[in-house]
Amino acid sequence: MRERLESLRTEALQEIQSATEMELIKDLKVKYLGKKGELTAVLRGMGSLSAEERPVIGGLANEVRAALETAFAQKSESLETAELEAKLQSETIDVTLPGASLEPGSIHPLHSVIEQIEDIFIGMGFEIAEGPEVELDHYNFEMLNLPKDHPARDMQDSFYITPEILLRTHTSSVQGRTLLAKEGEVPVRIIMPGKVYRRDDDDATHSHQFTQIEGLVVDRGVSMGELKGVLLQLIQKMFGPDTEVRLRPSYFPFTEPSVEVDIYHPEKGWLEILGAGMVHPRVLEKAGYDSERYTGFAFGLGVERVAMLKYDIDDIRHLYNNDLRFLRQFKSV
């Protein structure tokens, strides 16, 4: 009986080993381990054994069963793996064929820049204010310490509609409106993005319509040091933390002292990027703020200039031509 068990084990293991399909494994399972299987048949003959032999043979029989079961399990697994592999192999696709078209559109680069700058300032506790593009001379000039006949009005030749109504020449016009609306409240921390218009012939560096972001902070004890700090934040976030910045004294009728801010471009040298300054006391007074108690700073930046520098755009007209071959380059910005 022992011999039979041993030869059964050898024979079965051999057959399992050489099986190449799952079907055959199933058949072999029935053949050896099934109710009418060979091992079962051997075990049925146990009754004829002596009391000493029975546990020995019984033990051996269990050992053989365990060996066969392990072999079946291993073989099934390897066959299944092989079958899966073959299936996967046959299902291979060409991954280099183009994807289904879910092409995203593109943001206009100027709006991308505006959103980025808005987010930087929102992070610093600023609100975003807006005002009309068709504006009263009063807000565009007078409130900003630019009375009629002021020589600085020449710096911004304007599109007038009537003698008192014009297309705003800068977003600084929103300053007066916002300050009046705040009725002397502080702190004032706003930025004012928007379209502005000047009588310029459209060429590579001029556009009769362009975009500005004006900024204004009014509070107790606001200093030029803070103006520098805030502008540095803006520039380093927009152009990288190592960007070199230079401040030059300048002149705007609505700020005093006034500043022109340059950044250093490795190829083009120093480039003017924005104008700024401490809010002129007359501007504060006109808007109902006591210029002894409160100080403030303001800045104005040309969005086109930032976009052109950031994305290396050589002609401002690209930003208004709306050629899709240009616009689609800004899908990821």
Partner 1 sequence: MLVSYDWISEYVDLTGITPEMIAEELNRTGIEVEVIYTRDNGVSHVVVGHVLSVEKHPEADKLNITQVDVGSSEPLQIVCGAANVAAGQLVPVAIKGATLPGGMKIKDTKLRGVASRGMICSAKELGIPDKFLTEHQKQGILVLGPDAGIGQDIKEYLGMNDQVVELELTPNRSDCLSMMGVAYELSAIFNRELRLPEWKEAVSSTERSQVEITTDLEEDCPFYAVQVVKGIQVGPSPQWLQNRLISAGIRPINNVVDVTNYVMVETGQPLHAFDLQTISTGEIVVRRSRAGETVVTLDGVTRALDDETLLITDGEQILGLAGVMGGESSEVRSQTTTVLLESAYFDPILIRRASRKLGLRSEASNRFEKGIDPERILPALSRAVQLLQEVAGAQVGSGVIVERSGEIEEVTVTLRHDRLMKVLGTSISQEQVLDIFHRLNFSVHVDETKNYHVQVPTRRPDIQLEVDLIEEVARIYGYDRIPTTLPWGQQQPGRLTDSQRLRRKLRHLLIDLGLSEVLTYSLTSSKRGKEVDSLTPSTGLVRLAMPMSSEHAVLRTTLLPELVQTAAYNVKHGNEDLSIFEMGRVYVTQEKKLTELPEERTELAFLLTGDFRSARWNRQAVQGGDFYVAKGIVQAIFERIGVANVEIQAANHHEGFHPGRTAELIYNGEVMGVLGEMHPQLAKQHDLKDTIMVQLDLDRLQQAIQADVRYQAIPRFPAVTRDLALVVDKNVEAGVLEAGIHEVAGELLESVRLFDVFIGSQVGEGKMSIAYSLVYRAADRTLTDAEVTATHSKVVEHLQTTLGAVLRS
Report the binding-site residues for Mg(2+).
256
- Report d(CA 155, CA 59) in Å as an integer: 107
Contact between 161 and partner 1 (CB under 8 A)? yes
The burial of 180, by beta-carbon neighbours within 10 Å (0-12 exposed, 13-18 middle, 19 or more buried), is given as: middle
Residue 232 beta carbon to partner 1: minimum distance, rounded to whole angstroms:
6
Q: Which of 259, 263, 274, 298 binds partner 1 (CB under 8 A)?
A: 259
Kindly report each contact of residues 197-202 with a partner whose C-beta sits within 8 Å and lies 24 or more positions away, as own/partner: 197/133, 197/158, 197/159, 197/167, 197/168, 197/169, 198/156, 198/157, 198/158, 198/159, 198/169, 199/157, 199/158, 199/159, 200/157, 202/316, 202/317, 202/320
Q: Which of 14, 246, 285, 315 binds partner 1 (CB under 8 A)?
A: 246
**Interactions with partner 1, residue window 168-187 (CB under 8 A):** 186-187
Residue closer to partner 1 by CB (options 136, 143) is: 136
Q: Are 129 and 192 in contact (CB under 8 A)?
A: yes
Contact between 276 and partner 1 (CB under 8 A)? no
Contact between 125 and partner 1 (CB under 8 A)? yes
Cβ atoms within 10 Å of 134's Cβ, excluding its own: 11
Contact between 108 and partner 1 (CB under 8 A)? yes
Cβ atoms within 10 Å of 298's Cβ, excluding its own: 26
**Interactions with partner 1, residue window 22-51 (CB under 8 A):** none
- Report d(CA 66, CA 93) in Å as an integer: 43
Contact between 165 and partner 1 (CB under 8 A)? yes
Residue closer to partner 1 by CB (options 238, 319) is: 319
Stretch that binds partner 1, among 38-46, 59-67, 171-179, 313-321 (CB under 8 A): 313-321
Q: Which of 68, 135, 289, 302 binds partner 1 (CB under 8 A)?
A: 135
- Report d(CA 243, CA 5) in Å as an integer: 85
**Interactions with partner 1, residue window 59-98 (CB under 8 A):** 97-98
- Report d(CA 287, CA 279) in Å as an integer: 11
Residue 266 beta carbon to partner 1: minimum distance, rounded to whole angstroms:
19
Contact between 160 and partner 1 (CB under 8 A)? yes
Stretch that binds partner 1, among 35-43, 68-76, 86-94, 115-123 (CB under 8 A): 115-123
- Report d(CA 298, CA 224) in Å as an integer: 10
49 sits in which H/E element: none
Residue closer to partner 1 by CB (options 82, 161) is: 161
Residue closer to partner 1 by CB (options 44, 148) is: 148
Contact between 271 and partner 1 (CB under 8 A)? no
